[in-house]
Amino acid sequence: MLDFEVALAQLLAQARVATRTELLPLTAARGRVLAHDVIAPINVPGFDNSSMDGYALHIPVAAPATTHFQITQRIAAGAVGHALAAGEAARIFTGAPIPAGANAVVMQEHCTLAGEALQLAAPVPLGANIRRIGEDVHHGQVVLRAGQRLSPAMLGLAASLGIAQLTVFAPLRVALLSSGDELVEPGQPLPAGKIYNANRYTLLAQLQALGCELVDLGVIPDQFDATVAALAAAAEQCDILLTSGGVSVGEEDHIKAAVQYLGELNLWKIAIKPGKPFAYGRIGNADFIGLPGNPVSALVTYLMLVRPFMLARQGASELAPPRMTLPADFELKRAGDRREFFRARRNPAGQVSLFAHQGSAVLTSLVWAEGLVDIPAGTTVQRGDPVAFIPLSALEG
């Protein structure tokens, strides 16, 4: 069995970055991977402006302790005032341009008014409450880097620069196939000996979250010729073939043999738990990825191996999920000979607790869990020891 880190490195080395790009409006670009750096065409703010509702002041430099000013104008956001002379003030609102001559803004709560005269409770420092031109972004600055997955904040930043469209990598076209005569679609009667196809729905949701174009090919019968035909057809039209089940060593597991017949198999059997029967190869120009059939194994191997591969193929620069170091609320006398990903959640004391049943078919463990605890092979864990915790929220999108 191949070590997890070695397998991941080999998998990522095979990830060919997509070359197709498309220009999308900001409203359609969330979660997509930026293909080119974004350079600021303007300054933000584009002019000195007030950070609050209050009064813009021209404090005489010779008398910085001045507390009495004459109000001469009112400046709303979007309006432009006229210059202030020494000792003058302007009623001003958040975001409004600072008039020439003004060198501070005082919040309205710190003033008293008597007609058009303004008195301060205390002197105001020069420059107070003024947002300067280019304080956030300056013209010519690289504000977004190629390879970033576009978040709502990034889209807002682009909008603040007047940019309405962004060039992103085109979505990957992914074929999803399930293997197994025992599988039945939800909503249908369940004959004896059959099970509902859960993997199709967990994997479809994950692929949709990555913005992939999906080709849902349903269930492949447990027959070698049918498997070969389905994989060959999918490879003609897709970038990636993703299957679940059929890659183990049983007599009814035909996917591994079909891939070797049509192309090449480069990875098989990874030293992880759950998920040992994981496979990677190529059929023509398409990548093939075979996941285990058990639902927890399929989803965990997708999250820890396939997701970073997909991101790399999309041109993303950040592939590794964030990790937290938290104290264990459990003991392991000695982990086995495989890297193990335990379903876990944080307890009120801030420690990590494990789900009671860690079987590869117990999908309720992933519903209950907030994350995965990553335990290297052969590790002993005492209660209170630090362990690596990977939040599922960081892996589901």
Residue 272's DSSP bridge partners are 339
Domain termination residue (choose one: 115, 145, 169):
169
Position 155 pLDDT exceeds 70:
yes
Q: How many CA atoms lie within 13 A of 194 on its CB side?
A: 12
What integer pLDDT is reported at residue 248 of this predicted model? Answer: 60
Query: Which CATH number characterizes residue 32's domain?
Result: 3.90.105.10
Residues 151 and 25 in one domain: yes
Higher pLDDT, 62 or 136: 136
Residue 265, H or E segment: strand 264-268
Token pair, residue 377, equals 């092979």
- pLDDT at residue 246 in the model: 72
> Is residue 239 a contact partner of residue 173, using CB atoms and an 8 Å limit?
yes
Q: Residue 212's domain is classified under what CATH number?
A: 3.40.980.10
Number of other residues whose CB lies within 10 A of the CB of residue 184: 16
- What confidence tens digit (pLDDT) does each residue in 239-274 have? 999 999 876 655 556 888 899 999 999 888 899 999
372, 305 contact by CB (below 8 A): no
Residue 238 forms part of a structural domain? yes
Helix (H) or strand (E) holding 343: strand 339-346
If pLDDT is split at 50, 70 and 90, which confidence band does 306 have? very high
Residue 290 to residue 234: CA distance in whole angstroms = 14
The helix/strand/coil state of 382 is coil
Identify whether residues 155 and 210 lie together within a single domain: no
Rounded to whole angstroms, the Cα distance separating 310 from 241 reads: 11
Shared-domain flag, residues 219 and 332? no
Question: Based on the structure, what is the number of domains in the chain?
Answer: 4
The tokens describing 185, both together, are: 């679609």
Average pLDDT, integer, range 270-280:
90
| pTM for the full predicted model | 0.87
Q: Name the domain boundary from 313, 347, 375.
A: 313
Task: pLDDT band for 1, please (50, 70, 90 cuts).
Answer: confident
Tell which residue, 221, 225, 212, 223, has the closest CA to residue 175. Answer: 212
Q: Please indicate, yes or no, if residue 282 is contained in any of the structural domains.
A: yes
How much is the pLDDT for 277? 87
Residue pLDDT, tens place only, 35-75: 999 999 999 999 999 999 999 999 998 888 888 999 999 99
If we measure between CA atoms, which residue out of 65, 52, 73, 75 comes closest to residue 119? 65
Assess whether 226 and 348 both reside in one domain: no
Q: What is the mean pLDDT of the chain?
A: 93
Same domain, 177 and 242: yes
Domain boundary among the residues 120, 151, 169 is at 169
pLDDT at 62: 81
The encoded tokens of residue 292 equal 């285990």
193: how many CB neighbours lie within 10 A of its CB? Answer: 7
Does some domain include residue 142?
A: yes
Residue 353, domain extent: 324-394
- Quote the Cα angle for 208-210-216, to 5°: 35
- Strands (E) in 1-158, as ranges, are 21-25, 38-39, 49-50, 54-57, 68-75, 88-92, 104-107, 111-114, 117-120, 130-131, 142-144
178 with 141, same domain? no
Within-domain flag for 306: yes
Same-domain check for residues 331 and 290 = no
Asked if residue 188 belongs to a domain, the reply is yes
Spell out the long-range contacts of 105-113 with Cβ–Cβ below 8 A and sequence spacing 24 or more.
Answer: 105/50, 105/51, 105/52, 105/54, 105/55, 105/56, 105/57, 105/129, 105/130, 106/54, 106/55, 106/57, 107/52, 107/53, 107/54, 108/53, 108/54, 108/55, 110/54, 111/54, 111/55, 113/71
Answer yes or no: do 204 and 304 share one domain.
yes
Q: Tell me, what's the pLDDT at 63?
A: 84
Same domain, residue pair 215 and 278: yes
Residue 315 backbone dihedrals phi, psi, to 5 degrees? 90, 10
pLDDT tens-digit map of 316-351: 999 988 999 999 999 998 777 899 999 999 999 999
Give yes or no: residues 25 and 165 share one domain: yes
Considering the domain boundaries, does residue 319 fall inside one? no
In a domain, 318, yes or no: no
Q: Are residues 285 and 175 part of one domain?
A: yes
CATH number for the domain harbouring residue 386: 2.40.340.10
| 360 and 336 co-located in one domain | yes
CA distance 178 to 265: 18
